[in-house]
């Protein structure tokens, strides 16, 4: 997959249908795969934050979630076809998970939000195995609190359930750094940073 470089941050030069195709390919493999959805704000953050930049560089699918990126790509003479938003890709992945009876876990958001989002998703997509959720304010995912017992128990919970897709909604850069730090310890196929999308699903 071709990448473009916006202020030093790599973005895949893809449209929605290609992004979905890639995501399905990831789900069919047993490899751990990471999907991030940077917008212009995150690009600006990554420009000054080496850790975030490294986390983005290590991701397997980096979609252009911002009209600013589409404009930048035109200036760079490597035009992106369209904006591919995180929430649209999440919706398409959920639709595929419903058709193929895959399982999901939602991690993040204020207490109650991920649970509500999971219930709404289950209503819309009854064949998805909605394994569970946990809020995003547990102790451990803040810098300096790593390895806290609550974080360990969240990781154990997810590992016992083995979701095909783990949606992580801590906002940027927390979700990107957390996924990069823990993906090797967590039993999931796809790790996707989804930010505020979980609030949207919660309604
Ligand atoms: N969030 C969280 N833990 C935190 C900080 C934020 O779970 O420590 C959640 C917050 O409740 C919200 C989500 O992260 O549901 C995304 O927040 P935001 O809208 O700021 O992110 P964006 O979509 O802009 O990346």
| Residue linked to tokens 């591919």 | 84
Strand stretches in the chain, DSSP E: 3-6, 9-12, 33-36, 61-62, 103-108, 129-134, 165-169, 190-193
Task: Output the pLDDT for position 143.
Answer: 60
Q: Which atom of ligand 1 is nearest to the CA of 196?
A: 23
Q: Compute the distance from residue 106 Cα to the ligand 1 centre, in Å.
A: 13
For the Cβ of 140 lying below 6 angstroms from any atom of ligand 1, the answer is no
Q: Compute the distance from residue 181 Cα to the ligand 1 centre, in Å.
A: 18
Q: Compute the distance from residue 78 Cα to the ligand 1 centre, in Å.
A: 31
Alpha helix ranges (H) inside 50-127: 50-58, 67-75, 86-99, 113-124
Q: Which atom of ligand 1 is nearest to the CA of 193?
A: 25
For the Cβ of 195 lying below 6 angstroms from any atom of ligand 1, the answer is yes
Mutation test residue for ligand 1: of 170, 177, 198, 200, the one with most atoms within 8 Å of CB: 170
Q: Pull the structure tokens for residue 190.
A: 């796809």
Task: Output the pLDDT for position 30.
Answer: 83
For the Cβ of 194 lying below 6 angstroms from any atom of ligand 1, the answer is no
Residue nearest to atom 14 of ligand 1 (CA): 170
Q: Give the torsion sign (CA, 40, 43, 45, 47).
A: negative
| Residue linked to tokens 């009209």 | 67
Question: Domain total for the chain?
Answer: 1
**Which of 23, 4, 37, 11 has the alpha carbon at shortest distance from 176?**
37
- Is the CB of residue 37 less than 8 Å from the CB of residue 9? no
**Which of 60, 48, 18, 11 has the alpha carbon at shortest distance from 189?**
60
Task: Output the pLDDT for position 142.
Answer: 66
Q: Pull the structure tokens for residue 97.
A: 């998970």
Neighbours of 76 (CB within 10 A): 12
| Residue linked to tokens 């359930």 | 161
Task: Name every residue whose Cβ is closer than 8 Å to that of residue 174 and which is 6 or more positions away in sequence.
Answer: 141
Question: Cα(45)–Cα(72) distance, rounded to whole angstroms?
Answer: 16
Residue 20 belongs to a domain with what CATH number? Answer: 3.40.50
Q: The pTM is what?
A: 0.96
Q: Which domain holds residue 7?
A: 3-202
Q: Which residues pair with 130 in a beta bridge?
A: 104
Mutation test residue for ligand 1: of 169, 177, 200, the one with most atoms within 8 Å of CB: 169
Measured between alpha carbons, how far apart are the two ends of the chain, in Å?
Answer: 35
Burial of 96 (0-12, 13-18, 19+ CB in 10 A): middle
For the Cβ of 172 lying below 6 angstroms from any atom of ligand 1, the answer is yes
Q: pLDDT of the chain along its 203 residues, tens only?
A: 999 999 999 999 999 999 999 999 999 998 999 999 999 999 999 999 999 999 999 999 999 999 999 999 999 999 999 999 999 999 999 999 999 999 999 999 999 999 999 999 999 999 999 999 999 999 877 666 677 888 999 999 999 999 999 999 999 999 999 999 999 999 999 999 999 999 999 99
């Amino acid at each position: 997959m071709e990448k473009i470089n916006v202020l030093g941050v790599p973005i895949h030069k893809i449209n929605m249908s290609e992004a979905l195709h890639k995501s399905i390919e990831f789900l069919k493999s047993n490899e751990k795969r990471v999907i991030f959805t940077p917008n212009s704000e995150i690009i600006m953050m990554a420009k000054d934050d080496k850790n975030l930049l490294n986390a983005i560089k290590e991701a397997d699918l980096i979609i252009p979630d911002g009209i600013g990126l589409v404009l930048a790509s035109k200036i760079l003479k490597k035009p992106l076809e369209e904006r591919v938003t995180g929430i649209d890709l999440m919706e398409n992945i959920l639709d595929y998970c419903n058709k193929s009876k895959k399982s999901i876990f939602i991690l993040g958001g204020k207490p109650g939000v991920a649970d509500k989002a999971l219930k709404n998703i289950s209503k819309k997509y009854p064949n998805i195995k909605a394994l569970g959720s946990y809020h995003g304010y547990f102790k451990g995912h803040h810098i300096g609190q790593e390895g806290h017992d609550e974080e360990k128990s969240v990781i154990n919970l997810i590992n016992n359930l083995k979701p095909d897709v783990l949606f992580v909604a801590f906002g940027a850069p927390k979700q990107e750094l957390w996924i990069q730090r823990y993906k090797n310890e967590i039993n999931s196929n796809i790790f996707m940073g989804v930010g505020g999308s979980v609030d949207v699903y919660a309604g």
